[in-house]
Amino acid sequence: MFDTFAVAGKPTVIFVADPCETSVILNSNVFKEKFNILRCHLDTKEGFFSFLEEHENKKISAIYAGFPAFVKIGGMTRDIIEHKSFPKKDLKCIVLCSRGYNGWDLDALREHNIRLYNYQDDQNEELIDDLQLHQVGNDVADCALWHILEGFRKFSYGQKLARETGNTLIARTKAAEKNGFAFGHQVGSMSIESPRGKKCLILGLGSIGKQLAYKLQYGLGMEIHYCKRSKDATISQSENWEFHSLDKTIYAKLHQFHAIVITLPGTPQTKHLINEKFLHYCKSELILINLGRGIILDLEAVSDALTKGQIKHLGVDVFYNEPQIDQNIQSFDKLTSITPHLGSATKDVFEQSCELALARILQVMSGEAAAEDRFSRVV
């Protein structure tokens, strides 16, 4: 743990995660003159409490939690917030670089009037000149696009065999699991197909879902369907995306989709949405992609469907017990594609999320955050 720029009387910002060191706001005279900056490397709760006690007179007014936030010490739980060393009196806000805020006790924050802000890039920000709108949605959609291509074409499995054998003919024959010439259109008993003209259902149509729909429609030539609680009025009729209500009526429609992509948040309502009943109604040899949250999949039901061949391919970027990768998903080598929750992991998002988080701190501390609809306030 180390600290810098500690000047008596000024409000202090604690960084518990590394920001983008080239950040315009971080290096601005306005930010440097307005705040003391303390940096704290989180290892344990006890270490965090000791750090806070050491700096109890620093008027800690904001915490930059970045991406990892407080995961390493079990989340921002009530016992941390209620601890005698936690700066409840002076702390005005905590800012995240991620959209997710699992592991945060929102009620405890609310009780102490501590604001929590997450990442949002769906509207312009006056403190950032070159904000790229929907950057996260675009980059996560790229990740989903890769998983979908993996499901239809199995490129990574072919690459794996090509590296192992060093021979294109042998690699294709090995993939087909038969003797003689193999064209490459089979992996075992599975047929390799083009996604063109196939139907894809997107569960949830937020920024990620919309960006993905455009990429699938105009990039891969797929027919787009989306499912949410109500029809999205912002979708142009020219897009020709078909709406389905996210309720029990969806079951009877699932049989028609070649691919289903999950971009829903993890909530009590979506937990185990993809269960045995859901999969029972789905098309045989389904391509299922999860970019939402790990808890949306009932792992036992999904594993059983993979074993029986009902799911042709499972692509995941999120996991049930993160940061641990589900063992039963790892074991299905040629039937799965796995990315370690890096859907939005680009230089563009890292830099922009830092700028937005620092902008929130400036706005809150200067009293400009009164119009809450302009800001990504969670609590």
Q: What is the DSSP letter of 178?
A: S
Catalytic-residue membership of 223: no
User: 3-class DSSP state for residue 202?
Assistant: strand
- Of the residues 99, 147, 293, 313, which is catalytic? 293
Of 39, 244, 341, 360, the catalytic one is 341
CA distance 32 to 106: 30
- Select from 102, 91, 47 the least CA-distant residue to 69: 102
In terms of Cβ atoms closer than 10 Å to its own Cβ (0-12, 13-18, 19+), residue 346 is: middle
Question: Which residue in 5, 23, 25 sits closest to 14, CA to CA?
Answer: 5
Q: Report the distance separating Cα 71 and Cα 330, nearest Å.
A: 23
Written as six digits, the tokens of 65 are 């939690």
Contact in structure between 315 and 335 (CB atoms under 8 Å):
no
Give 211's contacts (C-beta < 8 A, 6+ positions apart).
Answer: 134, 137, 138, 140, 141
Catalytic site includes residue 341:
yes
What is the rounded CA–CA span in Å between residue 213 and residue 301? 27
Nearest to 66 by CA among 15, 104, 106: 15
Contact 279, 302 (CB under 8 A): yes
Q: Give the total residue count for the chain.
A: 379
Residues 34 and 9: their CA atoms lie apart, in Å, by 10
**322, 351, 368, 377: the active-site residue:** 322
Which token pair is 207?
A: 């920024």
Which whole-number Å values give the CA distances from 129 to 123, 207, 352, 356, 366, in the listed order?
12, 21, 11, 11, 19
**Rounded CA gap, 178 and 180, in Å?**
7
Q: State yes or no: is 293 an active-site residue.
A: yes
Q: At what angle do helices 135-153 and 347-365 cross, to 10 degrees?
A: 150
Q: Which two tokens stand for residue 18?
A: 């590394």
Q: What separation in angstroms does the CA of 371 have from each of 107, 353, 376, 377?
A: 22, 21, 11, 10
C-alpha span between 359 and 25 (Å, rounded)? 7
Catalytic residue IDs: 293, 322, 341
